[in-house]
Structure 1
Amino acid sequence: MTDRLRVLISADLEGVSGIVHVVETNPGGYDYERGRALMTAEVNAAVAGVLDAVPDADVRVADAHGTFRNLLPEELDRRVRLIRGKPRPLGMMAGLEAGVDAVLFIGYHARAGAGPGVLAHTISDAVLDVRLQGASVGEIGLNAALAGHFGVPVVLGSGDDAACAELRALVPAAVTVEVKRALGQAAAETLHPQEARDRIRRSAAEAIGRRNRVRPVPTGGPVETEIDLYGPYTVDLATLVPGVSRAPGGRTVTFTGEDIVAAYRLIQLVVQLGQIKPG
């Protein structure tokens, strides 16, 4: 065991300053390499802020966008450990299982159906909505709940104004860094990247300094889960999984997780099924 502060930074890409279009976030897009460089720089700013506050903190970074292979390892702050690649049991929140004292969300976006929100979605275009206990949640809500299961507070989030508002609604005491203001799904008024990084660094140090004032999102079980899916074929596949049922209407599947960890894992599986096309 160690007495060092343990911090997990979960990093997405759509909420990074300057990013407004899907071609900037997907491998093969003409501006993807620029996007991943901007993402890496914002993560480094968050790392610097954490270590400004607690110089000997143990910091892990979970690459949490798409392939989970976006951050440039050679450009990442050498004082951290990088978690990359998929699949992995806790997805965007890999590292929680190793024991963590505080979580930071960097580059996050609003949930599907929220708006205006830059590149707002929930996990995948295959998903129209996710509901836990009847309440609609996006990646912010899912990941904050998962952190809460482990007793860990989300102390900071960065992204557009919609993403920041979504986190504050769940965790009022969290520090948020608005790096752009959404004008639509693919348009924003954005800070200069260096200004965004400066604000993230200052805010990360502030968030770590006041982490004891932030409560973890309460979770319990069982967790009633509903997923509205874009493709009926995905519904057909998902109902082959034990415990998953089709709801009336043809686009929704339901299941019950014994806790948020079990629900989270099954959500990940259903999302992956959404990548399979009819033979």
Structure 2
Amino acid sequence: MKIFISADIEGTAGIAHWDEAERTHADYQEFRELMTAEVVAACEGARAAGATEIMVKDAHDSGRNLRLDRLPAYARVMRGWSGHPDSMMFGLSPDFTACLYTGYHAKAGSEANPLAHTSTLRISRLLLNGAVVSEFTMNALCAARYRVPSVFLSGDAEICADAQALVPGIATVATLEGFGRAALSISPARAREAIRDGVEAALSAAPSERIPGLEGPFEVVVEFANPTDAWRVSWYPGAELRKDRSVAFKAAEFFEIQRALRFLTA
């Protein structure tokens, strides 16, 4: 059994401020450790369920956050950014059994996490076929392109609810809930225990059923916080500049949406 883990930090248990997610701040080192510990817990749960190979995509900011000396010997790690449109899912292929997501967070425009965003803080909202979507939405649909199920997610309460709506039956662990600039979190120790147990259970329960539908056509709309960003990226081939700082792009295939976002959100 071959497992893929996409690891972020803004949904890590205990996090409440951007200083804790940015490598230039002293607080980051603690949360780098906590992010790594949640990934290790997911690896342990997967191993207990029979995983023989695990690939971890370090998917936050620089892509160079995880403490490599803490990862188990049976895991491989994809660090940095290749520039491929799969982005936070780069390294995934059809021969993986399932995808797991740790440290995930609410979408841009949400108040459910003080660190809520989608891909970049320059975006106020991202819409796919008229619905406001998260990084998880795009990543789970990326996994669906490869026919790999998404079976487990840990992160804030809202992203857990969104994941359950998109992928019925996905196992989740809610690590925190946002209140303005505050966050109420479970303890990191409790989160690690729940992640370990949740992953093991999820991988033992017919994971192949957890693949969301991926029928086109697709329209993505990127709403920017600043109109000059919308003007700049509207020159991407096929992009359409709209009112309210928005740029739209249409495609029949989901990969073309991913390719466009690689440049529209850069």
Pairwise TM-score range, normalised by the shorter structure: over 0.9
Aligned counterparts of 1:211 and 1:73: Cα–Cα separation in 2: 31
Residues 94 and 146 of structure 2 are in contact (CA less than 8 Å); yes or no, is this contact kept in structure 1?
A: no
C-alpha distance in 1, partners of 2:193/2:243?
49
Query: What is the CA–CA distance in structure 1 between the aligned matches of 2:64 and 2:206, rounded to whole Å?
Result: 29
Q: Given the two structures, how large is their TM-score scaled by the length of structure 1?
A: 0.90
Number of residue equivalences: 265
Taking the aligned partners of 1:176 and 1:161, their CA distance within structure 2 comes to 9
Partner of 2:192: helix, strand, or coil? Answer: helix
- Structure 2 equivalent of residue 36 of structure 1: 32
Q: Which residue of 2 aligns with 1:227?
A: 222
Among candidates 222, 225, 234, match of residue 239 of structure 1: 234
Provide the residue aligned with 1:261 in structure 2: 255
Post-superposition Cα deviations, 1:43-95, rounded to whole Å, max 9, x if no partner, equal 000000000010x5211000111111111222222211101111431100112
User: Which of 61, 78, 85 does residue 56 from structure 2 map onto?
Assistant: 61
2:43 aligns with: 47
Q: Does 1:271 align with 2:265?
A: yes
SS in 1 for 2:115: coil
Q: TM-score, normalised by structure 2?
A: 0.95
Q: Distance in 2 between matches of 1:143 and 1:265?
A: 13
Aligned AA for 1:210? Answer: A
Secondary structure of 1:62's counterpart equals strand
Alignment of 1:178-189 (within 5 A): 178-184=174-180, 186-189=181-184
- AA in 2 matched with 1:14: E
Shift of 1:98: 5.9
Question: 2:157 aligns to what?
Answer: 161
Q: Gaps (5+ residues) in structure 2?
A: none
Q: Is the Cα–Cα contact under 8 Å of residues 133 and 225 in structure 1 kept in the other structure?
A: yes
Q: Indicate the percent of aligned positions where both proteins have the same amino acid.
A: 35
Segments of 4+ in structure 1 off by > 6 A?
A: none
CA distance in 2, matches of 1:169, 1:114: 16
The one-character-per-residue Cα deviations of 1:126-165 (angstroms, maximum 9, x if unpaired) are: 1111111111111111111111121111100001211111
TM-superposed deviation, 1:115: 2.6
- Please list, as runs of the form range in 1=range in 2, the aligned pairs for 1:139-150 lying within 5 A after superposition: 139-150=135-146
Amino acid at match of 1:161: A
C-alpha separation between the residues in 1 aligned to 2:63 and 2:262?
13
Q: Is the 8 A contact 2:52 2:74 kept in 1?
A: no
Give the corresponding residue for 1:77: 72
Distance 2:252 2:67 in 1: 37
- Post-superposition CA distance 1:198-242 (Å, at most 9, x none): 110000100110143633011123321111011222112212211
RMSD: 1.5
Secondary structure of the residue that 1:128 maps to in structure 2?
strand
- Tell me the amino acid that sits aligned with residue 168 of structure 1: Q
